[in-house]
Amino acid sequence: MGARVPLIAGNWKMHGTRPEAVALTKGVAAAVGTLRDREVLVAPPFTALETVARAVAGTSLLLGAQNLHWESKGAFTGEVSASMLRDAGCTHVIIGHSERRQFFGETDETVGKKVHAARAAGLVAIMCVGETLAEREAGATLAVIDRQLRHGLPGVDAAAISTLVIAYEPVWAIGTGRVATPEQAQEVHAFIRRTLGDITDIEAAARCRILYGGSVKPDNVDELMRKADIDGALVGGASLQVESFVRIAKFGV
């Protein structure tokens, strides 16, 4: 069984005009183009996707979107479909980010629909799971993660699990400057892998990449990435500056 290739994904959230997106993309691409033992992805807002797709052409950078709808088309004002993302140049899509769950009504069930839609269109789904501070303090972290995985991956087979990416993002660490300790993150990542193995099989779970997200920064990425079940990072604010994102992408170098 081959080693899991680390993935460093930059979630730009609601930041970046097209010129800003191009400048950021070109800066990152120039700095990480020689890296061959990992993947680096940028996820700009919808308005910049096609522009960034042109900027990453011929580079090693991957392009992802921040959301999609589970239907292929229809009267869903303000939404985009998986085929639209493919047409814009995306290969990946983030699904179920905690901000989507918190502010826009995402549920475990709608996350599951979106994962299936992404896979059907040939997109790699980066499915987010994570607990709130109240849930962690109540000792419910693993129960929450278990529910999110099982309800968000109904009927997913071993082949799908193998190509899926899971992002563990403790909600209490997103944009707060707080970060789970490497030991806390590893505990949850190992639990996610065991749960995926229970949903399908152990070999498929061993191939699935699990990212950590939650105030990942240049000064904590190396220690996080030393843990056995942490296969990369979903980076928020630190992905908006070339220097900080490149340093994260170059962990261990």
79 a catalytic residue: no
Backbone angles phi, psi at 235, to 5 degrees: -105, 130
Q: Which of 39, 69, 92, 97 is catalytic?
A: 97
Catalytic residue (one of 39, 106, 135, 169) = 169
| Whole-Å CA distances, 142 to 138, 167, 192, 194, 235 | 11, 15, 9, 11, 22
> Which residues have C-beta within 8 Å of that of residue 103, sequence separation ≥ 6?
none
Question: Is there a catalytic annotation at residue 135?
Answer: no
Q: Which of 40, 32, 33, 55 is nearest to 8 (CA)?
A: 40
In 3-state terms, what secondary structure has residue 185? helix
**Mutual orientation of helices 49-56 and 18-32 as an angle, nearest 10°?**
30
Q: Which token pair is 124?
A: 């790699």
- In which element (H, E) is residue 95 found? strand 92-95
- Token duo for residue 217: 């920064």
Task: Give buried/exposed letters for 34-54 (b at 16+ CB in 10 A, else e).
Answer: ebeebbbbbbbbeebbbbbbe
Considering only the C-alpha atoms of the chain, give the largest distance between any 2 of them, rounded to a whole number of Å.
48
Which residues are catalytically annotated? 97, 169
